[in-house]
Structure 1
Amino acid sequence: MKKLWFVLFSLCLFNLPQATAQEKVLVFAASSLTNALNELAESYEHASGNEVVLSFASSSTLARQLAQGAPADLYLSANTKWMDYAAEQKVINSESRKDLLHNRLVLVTHKSESVNSVPLNASWDITKTLNGSRLVVGDPNHVPAGIYAKEALESLGLWQRAEPLLARANNVRAALLLVERQEAKFGIVYQTDAQVAQDVKIVAQFPERSHQPITYPVALTRQAPSKAAQGFYDYLQSSDATEVFERYGFSVN
């Protein structure tokens, strides 16, 4: 009798309707997208029932991880150079590549500082302004924000004086944090980073002509996209996503 009950119970379990499996989307994204993508991922999860896992770092770090076989579904870079690299390494679906967003480059300092504006031209005495402190930037050797910063400083005739005074950070959010903690007097970051920071203020905006356009491309990776990955990729290009990106200071293509 016990054996018969066990068989019947097992058959009942086997015939129960199976819950729809939740899909997971792994997104590699530039650090400067942290706030906007966290909000968008939460909205997409709520609407779709799928999980979005976000991995933020420098665009260069993420591109290299993809090239080494990291299993991401989407990649969002803060410049075209590292998306080009990912394409050369054949780790993205180049047909899915789109220029999604644009940003601006600004000079920031802590809100407690008395300075409210800085003349961004060849007459700026950086050494005097820093007064023994440092100008923090993303590492110009690989971090997009640092690459743009170097281009801008060179264009304005300031690079030779600025280079010995730089503090080089691993990504733009790390650069912002050093200014917030007053470990560096000035920093060059994206306008969107300055906008979400509590304790910094913008003292100058770099002319757009002083550096290459700050463009954020997005692409699916080479692996066949799941429905959830394709859905999140499409959602990032929706009017709802545009509203969120613009609220955080990005301009949308």
Structure 2
Amino acid sequence: MEKLFLSLLFAFSLGVGASANAAEKVTVFAAASMKDVVEEAAAQFKITHGADVTFSFAASSVLAKQIEAGAPASIFISADEDWMDYLQERQLISVPSRRVIAGNALVIVTQAGGERSEAIDILGAGRFAMGDPSNVPAGKYGKAALEKLGIWTEVEKNAVFAENVRVALQYVNRGEVNAAIVYASDLAAASGLAEAYRFPASSHSPILYPAALVGEGSAEARAFLDYLASDAGQAIIRAKGFVPAAEVGN
């Protein structure tokens, strides 16, 4: 009887372990601008690898602070190097796993039907939205570009700061502002809007998206990070309006 009981207990423990492993999910904390990429990649990864991927999207600064506070993220994808550096300095990511998975461009968008023009003409004509330069990467890139062009002091009074680029897009979509400074990839995901101006690449630092495991990471998390860097993942990145990693010099 004792042997039977031990056998049943052992079998039960194996079953619980298998169920726990099967239920393990990959949780991706990603910059808001990566929403469409991560959702599509997660759907394809589920088909090819059978693992579930959940996600949380916000400004990179918000996500980094949440991870620092102990939020259960498996992978962090930042919209700039600074917030990834922030977590690396606090020894919260796996440094060997860190890699750039995409690049981007910075554009001014307006309602469709408008004409292309110079940045000063668009932004000087009325209110425009942009990420908050104090903590949102898109906002930092935008302010740097406007300073480089020598027009920040002229247009700053018209700026409406948003918590992330998707919120900035919503403002222009709803007609609450005349334009928004966003990533080219955000325009690719938006309807009813058009590119009115593209900032020269020389006007701001390269827009790079580093990704890394939070902590050492599970096998599933490592597999998803590898998937994003694979040909299949990079094809999704290109289709969503981003620049593949191989084309940004990384």
| TM-score between the two structures when normalised by the length of structure 2 | 0.88
Shift of 1:227: 1.3
Match of 1:233 among 204, 225, 244: 225
Hey, what's the Cα distance between the residues in 2 that align with 1:166 and 1:199? 22
Residue aligning to 1:77: 78
Residue aligning to 1:165: 158
Matches within 5 A, 1:1-253: 18=15, 21-111=22-112, 115-120=114-119, 124=121, 126-127=123-124, 129-130=125-126, 134-222=127-215, 224-253=216-245
Shift of 1:106: 0.3
- Deviation digits for residues 199-220 of structure 1, max 9, x if unmatched? 1110110000000100000111
Q: Is the 2:148–2:204 contact (alpha carbons within 8 Å) kept by the matching residues of 1? A: yes
Residue aligning to 1:3: none
Structure 1 segments (4+ residues) deviating >3 Å: 17-20, 124-127
In proportion to residue count, which structure has more helix?
A: 2
The percent of aligned pairs where both chains have the same amino acid is 40
Give 3-state SS (helix, strand or coil) of 2:91's partner.
coil
Q: Is the 2:122–2:179 contact (alpha carbons within 8 Å) kept by the matching residues of 1? A: no
Hey, what's the Cα distance between the residues in 1 that align with 2:138 and 2:42? 24
Shift of 1:33: 0.6
Shift of 1:47: 1.9
Q: Could you list the runs of 5+ residues in structure 2 that have no partner in the other structure?
A: 246-250
Hey, what's the Cα distance between the residues in 1 that align with 2:135 and 2:123? 23
Hey, what's the Cα distance between the residues in 1 that align with 2:114 and 2:28? 39
Q: Which amino acid counterpart does residue 202 of structure 1 have in structure 2?
A: E
Q: Is the 1:175–1:189 contact (alpha carbons within 8 Å) kept by the matching residues of 2? A: yes
Hey, what's the Cα distance between the residues in 2 that align with 1:125 and 1:231? 44
- Deviation digits for residues 197-253 of structure 1, max 9, x if unmatched? 01111011000000010000011112x321111111111111111111111111112
Q: Is the 1:126–1:161 contact (alpha carbons within 8 Å) kept by the matching residues of 2? A: no
Shift of 1:125: 7.2
Shift of 1:120: 3.1
Larger Rg: 1
Give 3-state SS (helix, strand or coil) of 2:119's partner.
coil
Hey, what's the Cα distance between the residues in 2 that align with 1:44 and 1:182? 37
Q: Could you list the runs of 5+ residues in structure 1 that have no partner in the other structure?
A: 1-6
Hey, what's the Cα distance between the residues in 2 that align with 1:146 and 1:174? 12
Hey, what's the Cα distance between the residues in 2 that align with 1:196 and 1:226? 31
Shift of 1:23: 2.0
Q: What RMSD over aligned residues (CA atoms) do the two structures have, in Å?
A: 2.3
- Deviation digits for residues 39-75 of structure 1, max 9, x if unmatched? 1001111222211011100001001111111121100
Q: Is the 2:123–2:179 contact (alpha carbons within 8 Å) kept by the matching residues of 1? A: no
Moved more, 175-184 or 18-27: 18-27
